[in-house]
């Protein structure tokens, strides 16, 4: 029963939603609308569940001194500080348990949560993303080597797209006459992005779509049961 | 023993990239900006939207993608406010709310006349991704019964007559991943047949570009900082994307030089090995 009931629910809801796509009238349309609302409520709870899970996993890591447990301390402290500040003094648009924290705003110019968001979190995230530029540069130097015909094609396409994606690229070939305009770097980049890249991407998308249909059917029909947990 | 190609210490690569990015941000080069078809399509979409009509802009990104998506958002909002277009903000990413607020704070200096609740409204974040979008299409007021400040949306003049996507001219998603443009286009355009457009980071552009097609699933696309710079140029308001383009140009140029050096070293090592009969 413990395993059969979820399978029955999954099957009925799955079939119901498929039918409602083809017959959007009562009762299927109304039922699918109701189910959408359920989904939104569950999504809200999933965020809370995710936070609790994050807290628990990191707490266990510290408690049992698992690999890199020191980083978990940072995560836990940051988590507690942000949640604490948010609960106590609220955020820009809401007040917390202690109200709006006007005395703190006078002192630091912002609510504690917003202060940390604007001055710490925002910059840390931007820094993490910016580091990619350095790693991509180093990786490109090591990986883009023209060893075979395929790698040569990749290399040429990469250089053209990289140049075409900058104002420098346009500037370098801006002198080309109208008859040779197709060799203008932004034009070449546009060609690569519109035809070969999009064609390849469409093939991937169709493959992914078919994969999603396949795995959805497996779940609805109860063939795929890993979501129930256990072995 | 076969010779290996000479390798440059990666710290040199990092140092040169750092210098290449930093100098153009300090000293402006000001290379000319050329516009592309996809950006022109987005511009025309906003330009042809009647005054006093309402559009929806979704902030589906977080601070990590700010350098690329924030300038786009700013340029699009500037264009909308200049044309007296009302804007509804939503966010499918929790941090998107702060992104929208930050842009409004910046734009209120240039547009002191715009009023909250009349010219724009921030409905805030809602979890659920694609299902949320689908439900918004049926009844927006059910999904967002109040704005992010807790004001019932019935009390906001901008929301008068706005029930679902049928009452909105177009939807624009500033997207750094999922949920983002893909989800918006699959629901808003494909199910409700409303014009949909968006802006994304440069790396995610290849995955979004197939939606810019003859069926106009997406009406244009702003892909990466270059598109943001082009949009700034088109509305005649060069800003952070335009100055960032100089840095991006130099950084890409340095990467290409390093790729060339890597290949020269490889071919030299290969030739030398062939000479030695290895």
pLDDT tens figures, A7-57: 999 999 999 999 998 998 888 888 988 998 899 899 989 999 999 999 999
Residue B39: what pLDDT?
97
Indicate yes or no: CB of B249 within 8 angstroms of CB of A140. Answer: no
pLDDT exceeds 60 at position B142:
yes
Which residues in chain A touch residue B65, judged by CB atoms under 8 angstroms apart?
A: 129
Indicate yes or no: CB of A40 within 8 angstroms of CB of B36. Answer: no
| Distance to chain A for B173, nearest Cα, Å | 20
Q: How confident is the model at residue A136 (pLDDT cuts 50, 70, 90)?
A: confident
Of the segments A215-229, B47-61, B255-269, which one has the largest average pLDDT value?
B47-61
- Closest by Cβ to B138, choosing from A33, A133, A193: A33
Which residues in chain A touch residue B206, judged by CB atoms under 8 angstroms apart?
A: 193, 197-198, 201
- Whole-number Cα distances in Å, A25 to A10, A21, A22, A29, A180: 22, 9, 9, 5, 57
Question: Which ipTM did the prediction report?
Answer: 0.85
| Upstream peptide bond of A27 is cis (omega within 30 degrees of 0) | yes
B275 and B168 together in one domain: no
pLDDT exceeds 60 at position A231:
no
> What radius of gyration, in Å, describes the C-alpha atoms of chain A?
27
Instruction: Break chain A into its structural domains and give their ranges.
Output: 1-57
Instruction: Domain of residue B248: give its range.
Output: 1-30+242-278
B18 and B57 together in one domain: no
Contact indicator for B191, B214 with CB cutoff of 8 Å: no
B214 and B101 together in one domain: yes
* Cα–Cα distance for residue pair A212/B18, rounded to 1 Å: 42
Mean pLDDT of A103-125: 90
Contact indicator for B186, B197 with CB cutoff of 8 Å: no
B109 and B163 together in one domain: yes
Query: Which structure tokens are listed for B12?
Result: 């040199």
B259 and B127 together in one domain: no
Spatial CB neighbours of B107, under 8 Å, sequence gap ≥ 6: B74, B77, B78, B81, B114
Residue B119: what pLDDT?
96
Residue A140: what pLDDT?
87
Residue B112: what pLDDT?
94
pLDDT exceeds 60 at position B213:
yes
| Distance to chain A for B154, nearest Cα, Å | 19
Residue A141: what pLDDT?
85
| Alpha-helical runs (H) found in chain A | 4-22, 28-63, 69-89, 102-108, 112-116, 122-143, 149-164, 167-172, 185-192, 198-220
Mean pLDDT of B123-133: 93
Contacts 24+ apart (CB under 8 A), B262-268: B262/A141, B262/A142, B262/A144, B262/A145, B262/B5, B263/A144, B263/A145, B263/A146, B263/A155, B265/B5, B265/B6, B265/B7, B266/A145, B266/A146, B266/A147, B266/B5, B268/B5, B268/B6
- Closest by Cβ to A166, choosing from B14, B98, B226: B226
* Cα–Cα distance for residue pair B247/B240, rounded to 1 Å: 11
Contact indicator for A170, B32 with CB cutoff of 8 Å: yes
Residue B36: what pLDDT?
94
Nearest CA to B13 out of B258, B253, B252, B263 is that of: B258
Nearest CA to B35 out of A192, A186, A171 is that of: A186
Closest alpha carbon within chain B to A190: B36
What's the pTM value of the predicted model, to 2 decimals?
A: 0.90
B151 and B266 together in one domain: no
Residue tagged 């190609």 (tokens): B5
Which residues in chain A touch residue B132, judged by CB atoms under 8 angstroms apart?
A: 40, 43
B144 and B250 together in one domain: no
Which of A109, A114, A134 to probe by mutation at the B interface, max B CB count within 10 Å? A134
B175: domain CATH number?
A: 3.40.50
The average confidence (pLDDT) of chain A is 91
Contact indicator for B42, B222 with CB cutoff of 8 Å: yes
Of the segments A129-138, A139-148, B174-183, which one has the largest average pLDDT value?
B174-183
Nearest CA to A169 out of A159, A154, A178 is that of: A159
B42 and B82 together in one domain: yes
Which of A35, A138, A159 to probe by mutation at the B interface, max B CB count within 10 Å? A138
Indicate yes or no: CB of B14 within 8 angstroms of CB of A169. Answer: no
Strand B120-125 relative to strand B86-91, pairing: parallel
Query: Which structure tokens are listed for B219?
Result: 């009406």
Burial class (CB in 10 A: 0-12, 13-18, 19+), B130: middle
Would you tell me the crossing angle of helices A149-164 and B240-275 to the nearest 10 degrees? Answer: 160
Indicate yes or no: CB of B148 within 8 angstroms of CB of A93. Answer: yes
Closest alpha carbon within chain B to A126: B64
B174 and B264 together in one domain: no
Number of domains in chain B: 2
Instruction: Give pLDDT tens digits for B146-166.
Output: 999 889 999 999 999 999 999
Closest alpha carbon within chain A to B255: A137
* Cα–Cα distance for residue pair A85/A92, rounded to 1 Å: 12
Query: What order do you get walking across the sheet with B86-91 strand by strand?
Result: B120-125, B86-91, B54-60, B171-175, B196-200, B222-223
* CA-based end-to-end distance of chain B: 7
Check residues B63 and B7 and name the one with the higher pLDDT: B63
Residue A230: what pLDDT?
63
| Distance to chain A for B63, nearest Cα, Å | 5
The average confidence (pLDDT) of chain B is 93
CA B145 to chain centroid, in Å, comes to 28
B15 and B108 together in one domain: no
Residue A229: what pLDDT?
79
Strand (E) or helix (H) holding B78:
helix B66-82
Closest alpha carbon within chain B to A21: B191
| Distance to chain B for A47, nearest Cα, Å | 8
Query: Which structure tokens are listed for A11?
Result: 């099957």
Contact indicator for B98, B122 with CB cutoff of 8 Å: no
Contact indicator for B64, A128 with CB cutoff of 8 Å: yes
B1 and B107 together in one domain: no
- Closest by Cβ to B258, choosing from A44, A141, A147: A141
B169 and B260 together in one domain: no
Spatial CB neighbours of A13, under 8 Å, sequence gap ≥ 6: A35
Instruction: Tell me B25's DSSP state.
Output: H
Residue A1: what pLDDT?
78
Residue B156: what pLDDT?
95
Instruction: Tell me B167's DSSP state.
Output: G
Spatial CB neighbours of B61, under 8 Å, sequence gap ≥ 6: B69, B93, B95, B96, B99, B174, B175, B176, B177, B180
């Amino acid at each position: 029963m413990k395993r059969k009931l979820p399978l029955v629910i999954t099957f009925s809801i799955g079939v119901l939603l498929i039918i409602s796509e083809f017959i959007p009238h009562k009762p299927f349309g109304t039922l699918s609308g109701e189910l959408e609302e359920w989904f939104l409520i569950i999504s809200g709870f999933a965020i809370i569940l995710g936070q609790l899970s994050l807290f628990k996993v990191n707490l266990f890591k510290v408690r049992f001194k698992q690999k890199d447990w020191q980083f978990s301390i940072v995560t836990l402290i940051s988590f507690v500080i942000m949640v604490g500040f948010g609960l106590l003094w609220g955020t820009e648009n809401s007040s917390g348990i202690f109200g709006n924290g006007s005395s703190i705003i006078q002192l630091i110019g912002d609510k504690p949560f917003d202060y940390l968001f604007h001055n710490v979190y925002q910059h840390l995230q931007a820094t993490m993303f910016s580091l990619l530029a350095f790693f991509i540069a180093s990786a490109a130097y090591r990986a883009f080597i023209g060893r075979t015909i395929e790698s040569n094609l990749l290399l040429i396409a990469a250089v053209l797209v990289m140049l075409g994606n900058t104002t420098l690229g346009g500037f370098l070939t801006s002198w080309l006459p109208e008859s040779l305009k197709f060799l203008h770097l932004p034009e070449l980049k546009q060609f690569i992005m519109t035809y070969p890249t999009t064609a390849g991407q469409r093939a991937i998308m169709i493959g992914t779509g078919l994969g999603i249909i396949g795995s959805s059917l497996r779940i609805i029909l109860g063939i795929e049961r890993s979501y129930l947990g256990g072995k | 023993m076969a010779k290996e190609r000479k390798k440059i210490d990666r710290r040199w690569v990092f140092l040169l990239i750092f210098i290449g990015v930093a100098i153009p941000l300090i000293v402006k080069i000001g290379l000319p900006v050329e516009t592309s078809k996809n950006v022109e399509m987005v511009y025309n979409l906003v330009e042809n939207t009647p005054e006093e009509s309402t559009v929806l802009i979704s902030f589906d990104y977080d601070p990590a993608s700010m350098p690329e998506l924030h300038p786009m958002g700013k340029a699009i909002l500037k264009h909308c406010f200049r044309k007296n277009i009302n804007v509804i903000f939503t966010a499918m990413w929790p941090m998107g709310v702060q992104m929208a607020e930050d842009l409004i704070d910046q734009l209120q200096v240039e547009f002191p006349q715009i009023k909250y609740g009349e010219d724009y409204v921030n409905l805030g974040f809602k979890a659920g991704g694609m299902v949320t979008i689908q439900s918004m299409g049926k009844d927006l007021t059910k999904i967002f019964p109040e704005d992010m400040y807790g004001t019932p949306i019935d009390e906001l003049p901008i929301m008068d007559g706005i029930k679902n996507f049928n009452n909105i001219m177009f939807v624009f998603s500033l997207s750094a991943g999922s949920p983002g443009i893909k989800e918006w286009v699959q629901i808003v355009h494909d199910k409700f047949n409303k014009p949909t457009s968006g802006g994304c980071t440069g790396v995610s552009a290849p995955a979004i570009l197939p939606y810019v097609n003859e069926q106009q699933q997406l009406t244009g696309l702003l892909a990466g900082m270059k598109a943001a710079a082009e949009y700034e140029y088109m509305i005649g308001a060069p800003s952070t994307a335009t100055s960032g383009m100089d840095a991006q140009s130099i950084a890409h140029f340095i990467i290409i030089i390093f790729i060339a050096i890597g290949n020269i070293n490889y071919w030299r090592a290969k030739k030398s090995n062939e000479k030695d009969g290895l």
